[in-house]
Amino acid sequence: MDSPPPPPSSSSSGPSRRHVSPSSLSPSQKVHISSSTTTRTAPPRNNPLLPTPTELALLSIYPILLIFGTLFAVLSPDVQASTYNPVTQSHDQGSLSPSYFARKNNLFNVLFVKRGWGWITFSFFLFVFTHPALKTAAQKSRATIRWAVVTAWWVFVTQWFFGPAIIDRGFRFTGGKCQVKMAEIAEADAGDLGVKEVFTAAACKSAGGRWSGGHDISGHVFLLVLGSCFLLQEVGWVVGRWVRYVKEERTVVMADGAVKGAMVEVEREVRYQQEQEDMGRGTVMEGLGHGGKMAVAVVGLCAWMLLMTAIYFHTWFEKLTGLLVALTALYVTYILPRNVPALRSIIGLPGI
């Protein structure tokens, strides 16, 4: 009886396998092997207490515009040749004005800045109620709540804060008074303090007087920064996700203290799968829609008028405080909710 054939040797079945010493490899082969076996690590998450890198880059535009405008005013012969009036917080008006935009009656100031919050509100709601990414009532209602929070801050600072606005209260607190009309007030009944408080804080300009002394926060800078950054937040995150342009993610603190990406809060919702199927279509301009394009135009005008304000109106400290007061409201509305789950459940986050 024949014995069974021996098993085929490894050398006769397919390519041979042999141990390769690392010392026999060329430098390029070593790099290839090392890179193919390296474990990929996720990029570090952004601190939820701070803006994301993209947000920080956009926010930096505001101080850059203010600094550039201030330097331009210092270096420009036309601006330096024009007299600055600290009472009116502007340069010479009329034919002696250093620029058309240095006049308080220029059309951009009268028709846009003076009615700025109306333009901002109109473009915001046009976007919210026409963009396909904002489908649910919850998304629209939370966006409306954020608008109400920012609008309330605008009212408190510039219009009314349980009496005179914060700007007027700050001016009077730092020693400001209503010039020209103070003599008439002194002749009034000294015991009628209520009339004096309202008159000096809220009705000075309409009564023909002018603010004198004190620190006057730049209402123009406040409005233009608050409104434009509000639109950038509301439109930017929605459109960025819709066309898959934004690569970074905001981080949020969960109820159990864990820090996660903001999208974790919607991934379990039914609408999330549909959104994933709809997103990524078209360019950024197509993704903006009519409301988004309107918002971009408003933001552009805000940036231009902010630069004009930086060049021709207010002192640098008045402009700085206007910027800081606006940034305070933006931080409370868009950064703080990432760290407070209870607050986030009420006002939400743009694009979520």
CB–CB of 178/217 below 8 Å? no
The one-letter amino acid code at 270 reads V
Alpha carbon distance 21, 14 (integer Å): 22
Residue 112 DSSP one-character state: I
CB neighbourhood size of 149 (10 A): 16
Can 314 be counted among the known catalytic residues? yes
Q: Is 32 a catalytic residue?
A: no
User: Rounded to whole angstroms, how far apart are CA atoms 211 and 122?
Assistant: 32
In the block, tokens 């036309």 appear at 78
Catalytically annotated residue among 32, 91, 290, 314: 314
- Measured CA to CA in angstroms, residue 319 lies from 87, 124, 170, 217 at distances of 15, 25, 14, 7
Q: Are 217 and 153 in contact (CB under 8 A)?
A: no
Choose, from 91, 131, 215, 220, the residue flagged as catalytic.
220
Residue 15: CB atoms within 10 Å: 7
Residues with a catalytic annotation lie at 220, 314
